[in-house]
């Protein structure tokens, strides 16, 4: 009963602190913005992959039509573009798109998908040097900093929220003179600190895990249950570790 009273009082203290409400609101906005940014990048990847596949299909269709015309007595537009020649058929005109689709949790963690190519038109002229030049134009500063996704917020900004919630767990009540009143109840100082930390950890973990589940639900990532469990477990353990 005493621990329940401590938790209830802790909730009242946190709810009455305007600075803490602002901090939680700011971090909630950051989490949601990071999720929206990751979802936008995933949609961009999906559109790019679809465009690459469409272009490959159109090239194949054009070659088939030209071969049909030649078989019916027509002539190629140029000797160098004759689809019957191996170098023309295996070159840029007959290139096939090799794509890497976004993973189930791509909206939560962009990773290096903005640095490494995730689609390429493969032909007989493909080699390692041309593969690294995927033709995408991007601000190098953005590539250096990385995408502002949910993984970025969890790794770099979540510890700041943990510090903001836990730096004055005991000192604030000692300064306000309420610690002695709390300890007059049948509860030890260790239990009080443990209850306070557990309640604040629940806020942090609930915020991070809640936004993660929202993103997984919005992107349909529940198709990979193992990855969902691994992501949520990693977020919870990282938040508790910090």
Angle, helices 225-241 vs 158-166, to 10°: value is 40
The confidence band for 117, taking pLDDT boundaries of 50, 70 and 90, is confident
pTM of the model: 0.76
Given a contact cutoff of 8 angstroms between Cβ atoms, the answer to whether 25 and 215 are in contact is no
Given a contact cutoff of 8 angstroms between Cβ atoms, the answer to whether 102 and 223 are in contact is no
Instruction: Say whether pLDDT at 108 is over 70.
Output: yes
Residue 218's contacts (CB-CB under 8 Å, 6 or more residues apart) are: 35, 39, 107
Instruction: Say whether pLDDT at 1 is over 50.
Output: no
Give residue 54's pLDDT. 92
Give residue 50's pLDDT. 93
DSSP letter (8 states) at residue 185: S
Give residue 2's pLDDT. 61
Which of 57-66, 77-86, 127-136, 179-188 has the lowest average pLDDT?
127-136
The confidence band for 131, taking pLDDT boundaries of 50, 70 and 90, is low
Short-list 121, 77, 79, CA closest to 97: 121
Handedness of CA 191, 196, 198, 199 (dihedral sign): positive
The confidence band for 198, taking pLDDT boundaries of 50, 70 and 90, is confident
Q: For the residues 71-88, what does the mean pLDDT come to?
A: 81
Look-up of token digits 């088939």: 64
DSSP letter (8 states) at residue 72: T
The confidence band for 223, taking pLDDT boundaries of 50, 70 and 90, is low
The whole-angstrom separation of Cα 193 and Cα 166 is 10
Instruction: Say whether pLDDT at 109 is over 60.
Output: yes
Burial of 233 (0-12, 13-18, 19+ CB in 10 A): exposed
* HSE of 100, CA atoms in CB hemisphere, 13 A: 10
The whole-angstrom separation of Cα 124 and Cα 183 is 78
* HSE of 185, CA atoms in CB hemisphere, 13 A: 16
Q: What is the Cα 20 distance to its own chain's centre? A: 26
* CA distances to 25, 51, 53, 91 from 63, in Å: 57, 18, 15, 12
Instruction: Say whether pLDDT at 186 is over 90.
Output: no
Assigned token pair, 121: 């038109």
Beta-strand (E) ranges in 100-221? Answer: 119-122
């Amino acid at each position: 009963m005493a621990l329940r009273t401590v938790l209830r009082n802790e909730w009242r203290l946190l709810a009455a602190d305007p600075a803490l409400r602002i901090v939680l609101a700011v971090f909630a906005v950051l989490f949601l913005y990071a999720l929206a940014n990751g979802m936008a990048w995933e949609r961009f990847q999906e559109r790019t992959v679809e465009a690459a596949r469409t272009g490959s299909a159109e090239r194949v269709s054009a070659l088939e039509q030209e071969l049909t015309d030649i078989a019916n007595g027509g002539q190629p537009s140029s000797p160098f573009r004759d689809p019957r020649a191996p170098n023309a058929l295996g070159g840029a005109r007959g290139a096939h798109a090799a794509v890497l689709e976004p993973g189930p949790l791509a909206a939560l963690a962009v990773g290096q998908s903005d640095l490494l190519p995730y689609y390429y038109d493969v032909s007989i002229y493909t080699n390692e040097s041309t593969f690294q030049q995927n033709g995408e134009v991007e601000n190098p500063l953005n590539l250096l900093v990385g995408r502002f996704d949910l993984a970025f917020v969890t790794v770099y900004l979540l510890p700041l929220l943990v510090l903001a919630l836990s730096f004055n767990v005991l000192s604030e009540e000692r300064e306000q003179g309420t610690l002695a009143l709390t300890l007059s109840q049948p509860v030890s100082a260790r239990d009080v600190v443990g209850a306070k930390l557990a309640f604040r950890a629940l806020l942090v973990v609930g915020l991070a895990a809640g936004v993660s589940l929202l993103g997984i639900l919005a992107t349909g990532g529940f198709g990979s249950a193992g990855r969902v469990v691994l992501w949520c477990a990693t977020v919870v353990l990282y938040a508790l570790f910090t």
